[in-house]
Structure 1
Amino acid sequence: MNRIPVTALTGFLGAGKTTLLNRILREQHGRRYAVIVNEYGELGIDGGLVVGAEDEVVELNNGCVCCKVRGDLIRVVSGLIKRKGGFDGILIEMSGLADPAPVVQTFFFDDAIRQRTRLDSVICVADALHLQARLADSREAAEQLAQADTVLLNKTDLVDATGLASVEAAIRGFNPTAELLHSVRCAVPLAALLDRGAFDLKRLHLDSSPDNANEPPRDERPFRHISVSLGRHSHGIDCVSLHVEKPLERSRFLSWLQQLVVEQGQDLLRAKGIVDLAGSDRRFVFQGVHMTMDTDFDRPWGVDEVRDSRLVFIGRNLDRRGLRESIGHCKTDS
């Protein structure tokens, strides 16, 4: 059974989430989507479409469905996936003041939903004009950005080239792994946003670490560590990237990862990794949100592929030195 892809849509108040959803709900794209608005108050899709009753479902003339959640998200999703005809995808718009993690974790923890759906990606719509101000004064804006796989930088027509470069740098500081797209009034092809497979371990990709001209030769440095400094308005969020060039001993590494989740899971906003485990000819991949960690053995390493381990952690209160030292103990003795 093909599982329905679910896209979580986040972003601070006024960024343009509703504008994006309006496009999906109105456009004759030939696909059938269910749009869930996961917040209290009247539905802000547009003035002519207000859902009054709790969990009421509205059929739209382009084949899409819109509903509002005021209670149990699991119950609403369970009802939608049982509807005749099925859907090409489910989109969930979260409150502009909400941490997306609880919604994301729903699709990992509930077995029935996980059998019928798959979390596809987390998209953060960001206001190019006001994002930096929101990052300076809002913990929620920082969390939304840090947990995204795709950042749709909207309202780019309201800033000049210098301002655009500055806000892009701020985004990269909080989340260097997310794909960054530009838009005006969220005018971006839906294919660029949907069915991305960002939570599919088989499609996980991490760029190689940046070149470091001043580092020792390859054979003299067992691993490399990069940290992004975010400044005084970071709300304590850091991105720590680890690059280990020697194979990792399986039991040591799995224990290390488990201990990290247990001890720092509440502070881990996102985690991703492609790992070379000693004795295995397949890549070990993982990614997670907070206490939720999905792991699997992926495809075999390519014949000409460099076998190394690349891990990225985004979160609060990360012990950068401790992570560097402790993962070093996971290397094989040889």
Structure 2
Amino acid sequence: MTTGLIPATILTGFLGSGKTTLLKRVLGEAHGHKIAVIENEFGEENIDNDILVADTQEQIVQMSNGCVCCTIREDLRTTLSDLAARRRKGELDFERVVIETTGLADPGPVAQTFFMDDEIAESYLLDSILTLVDAKHAEQQLDTRQEARRQVGFADQIFISKTDLVAPEQVDALVHRLKHMNPRAPMRKVHFGEVPISEVFDLRGFNLNAKLDVDPEFLTGDGHGHAHDHDHEHGEHCDHPHHHHHDDDVKSFVFRADKPFHPAKLEDFLGAIVQVYGPKMLRYKGVLHMKGSDRKVIFQGVHQLMGSDLGPKWAPGEKKESKMVFIGIDLPCDILQQGLEQCLV
């Protein structure tokens, strides 16, 4: 990484979804990555004791392949700044951090740590949030636990595990449901954590500019070749007919416009929306066509924290349009729709 920042990945998913299996694979594989793993777990399934010795005074364990493990019993911020300090002093050698959250955790506050704290922001770059979904138990978990739905809404990449244990049509129904909740995260099926490292790291889910270079299909709705029986834009209108009986509270709302945005109006409107609905807004992201700018403006946020960045210039002949996606809990789609339309020139 030219920036010198340490990339961080947040790994989330419900109990038994296979996070530990995936982590063991990532840690045990001789792929030449030196990884620090932070386990934010409290008495749940720890990575094997031969890797992590939980009752030692020293919270950080060096592994034979150069990886580092630590279990947090306190604040994530403190642990991250401690790791960065020890790396600067040459006491620890690692290139990236993976934070495994507890099965019931909301990834929001973990992600916010990377934005809110200057010291953390100067050392780390939040790369992406990965969510593991267990195909066998997902339906019940999504029906009964809002935490599970939030984890889906936050994801930059979704891995579906245990698909071999359920019928193909059940997997299709699950993919369909997850896409309604989060149309912007690519999904792939994983078998016992066998995922190529390239699909786990450097996804740049949070890196504003790079995301567009990496993913030209950003927001085309269903950009990943899953055959679906419908062709409407996911989440385009909040009241579109559902093809399934689940009406999850985590939903997506997509806004597109050809007219440019009025910068001051848009800033005021988004600022107000975030103030009121921030806790219910999980992830939001967009590529904006702004009046008076020959460059794309890229914006994104987590809960109340919003950031924007100048992107590349609009190419000659390229259609200038704004595309935004909001993923959240019971979002007021009509207010978003009307408010955004009023910000157009």
TM exceeding 0.5? yes
1:172 counterpart residue number? 179
Inter-partner Cα distance in structure 1 for 2:251 and 2:171: 22
2:275 counterpart residue number? 262
Quickly say closer, same or farther: Cα 1:209–1:102, change in 2 above 3 A.
closer
SS in 1 for 2:306: strand
Identity of aligned residues (%): 36
Decide which moves more: 278-287 or 316-325. 316-325
Conserved? CA contact 2:219–2:325, under 8 Å? no
The gaps in structure 1 that reach 5 residues or longer are 215-223
1:52 counterpart residue number? 55
What is the RMSD computed on CA atoms of the aligned residues?
A: 2.2
Residue 15 in structure 1 maps to residue 11 in structure 2? no
Shift of 1:263: 1.2
TM-score normalised by L of structure 1 = 0.91
1:207 counterpart residue number? 219
Conserved? CA contact 1:274–1:309, under 8 Å? yes
Residue-by-residue CA offset, 1:86-141 (whole Å, 9 max, x unaligned): 42210000000110101100000111111111000000011011111110011110
Amino acid at match of 1:31: H
Shift of 1:233: 4.9
How do 1:76-225 residues align onto structure 2 when only pairs under 5 Å count? 76-82=79-85, 83=87, 84=90, 86-205=93-212, 206-208=218-220, 225=236
Shift of 1:67: 0.2
Shift of 1:262: 0.7
2:303 counterpart residue number? 290
Inter-partner Cα distance in structure 2 for 1:208 and 1:248: 20
Residue 240 in structure 1 maps to residue 242 in structure 2? no
65, 68, 73: which one aligns with 1:65 = 68
Amino acid at match of 2:143: A
Inter-partner Cα distance in structure 2 for 1:250 and 1:13: 44
Shift of 1:304: 2.5
Shift of 1:225: 4.6
Shift of 1:160: 2.4
Conserved? CA contact 2:66–2:94, under 8 Å? no
Conserved? CA contact 2:63–2:69, under 8 Å? yes
284, 289, 292: which one aligns with 1:279 = 292
Shift of 1:41: 2.1
Residue-by-residue CA offset, 1:130-172 (whole Å, 9 max, x unaligned): 1111100111100001100000111121122212111111111
SS in 2 for 1:182: strand
Amino acid at match of 2:303: H
Residue 226 in structure 1 maps to residue 237 in structure 2? yes
1:218 counterpart residue number? none
Amino acid at match of 2:157: T
Shift of 1:43: 6.2
- Equivalent pairs counted in the alignment come to 323
SS in 2 for 1:283: strand
Shift of 1:226: 3.3
Quickly say closer, same or farther: Cα 1:286–1:229, change in 2 above 3 A.
farther
The gaps in structure 2 that reach 5 residues or longer are 213-217, 223-229
Decide which moves more: 137-146 or 77-86. 77-86
TM-score normalised by L of structure 2 = 0.88
Amino acid at match of 2:159: L
Inter-partner Cα distance in structure 1 for 2:231 and 2:241: 19
Inter-partner Cα distance in structure 2 for 1:155 and 1:10: 16
Inter-partner Cα distance in structure 2 for 1:213 and 1:33: 41
Amino acid at match of 2:199: A
Amino acid at match of 1:2: G
